[in-house]
Structure 1
Amino acid sequence: MSEEMRFSVRLEQQQDFQFLVKFDLDDVPELEVDEPKPLGNSAGPNAARLLAAAVGNCLAASLLFCLRKFKQDPGAIVAQVVGHLERGDRGRLRVGSLDVLIHLGDPAGPVPRLAHCLREFEDFCVVTQSVRRGMEVNVRVEDASGRVVFDPRQPGEPGAPAGARIELEHDPGFGE
């Protein structure tokens, strides 16, 4: 059985689609996220951009870690990530792919051990490999009293959608 390490983030709605992200690290400032206009106010990056930033950061940091392990200085690294949105089978937007370009600050020639690191760094990138593999995401919804109203891991009532724990007939869009 593999070792499980945990981390957490908390998102608190500020207004409309703006959320304040709080990290479980004492010295890390909070981050405001929002949806782009016209849905949101573009007050911060949205989830797709955070995903792109996470993948780009993880890859760049992994490459830098490997090079520094061998006492190499590649110069200032810059990662550029382009995300491609596409519509899935049901017409809903998805991040279809991410193109990552990593620029080394120095020419590759004088950086010893670069070839070794280029063979290895992707495999050590936690986020990129998790996204490529398609990680499990468990979702549960609780109401203000703490009552679980949705948990796909729990069986629902007969005829209810998987995981439904309360009647949702009052929602005219439910089940569409």
Structure 2
Amino acid sequence: MADGERFIRLEQLHDFRIAITWDETRPPIVGDEPPPLGTGEGPNPSQLLLAAVASCMTDSLFFALRKFALDASPLSTEARAEVGRNAEGRQRVLALDIRLALGRLPEDEAKLTRALAQFEQFCTVGQSVAQGIATRVTVRAPDGRVLHGAAE
């Protein structure tokens, strides 16, 4: 990704429902809060944050694998956010858990080890968010073995 400014526009549609435009040639994403505040017609801000970090980590893993000419596709990712109260009693995202899985295990174990050792550093969003929110990242083989990160 090139350096520079990024831009999105948000417009309130109704109550907590918003249209998120990132490209004028495409339809907007609709975000919403769950009931009782909103109607849950789209992802809420915590889910959008989680999606941003998980998507960036997935892209970064794909980039690192491709850099070493490794094919582990299709990659899949599940992500969870722990939401709770901070010391002041305000609701906050306290921790993120990003779980990536390889679709197939590349044969070159040495290259895979190198790719796994560096992919997190390629993730612009994940590394930025991790400065303020505890973020755990794991990568599993197709058989469920943990290849990167701490086992639960």
For normalisation by structure 1, the TM-score amounts to 0.69
> Structure 2 CA distance, aligned partners of 1:104 and 1:111?
14
Structure with the higher fraction of residues in strand conformation: 2
Work out which structure has the larger RCO, using CA pairs closer than 8 Å and 6 or more positions apart in sequence: 2
* Equivalent residue runs for 1:11-50 within 5 Å: 11-23=10-22, 25-50=23-48
> Structure 2 CA distance, aligned partners of 1:27 and 1:92?
38
Q: Secondary structure at the match of 1:7?
A: coil
Equivalent residue in structure 2 for 1:102, among 95, 100, 116: 100
Change (3 A) 1:111 1:83: farther
Query: 1:73·1:111 contact (CA, 8 Å) conserved in 2?
Result: no
Query: 1:12·1:19 contact (CA, 8 Å) conserved in 2?
Result: yes
Query: 2:68·2:115 contact (CA, 8 Å) conserved in 1?
Result: no
> Structure 2 CA distance, aligned partners of 1:28 and 1:53?
19
- In structure 2, runs of 5+ residues without a counterpart are 133-152
| Bigger CA radius of gyration | 1
Structure with the higher fraction of residues in helix conformation: 2
Runs of 4+ displaced beyond 2 Å:
25-29
1:1-23 deviations in Å (ceiling 9; x for gaps):
xx961011100000000000000
- 2:5 maps to 6
Structure 2 residue 90 is the aligned partner of structure 1 residue 92: yes
1:90-121 deviations in Å (ceiling 9; x for gaps):
2111000001110100135x255111111101
> Structure 2 CA distance, aligned partners of 1:74 and 1:111?
11
> Structure 2 CA distance, aligned partners of 1:21 and 1:63?
27
TM-align CA RMSD: 1.9
Q: Which amino acid aligns with 2:94?
A: G
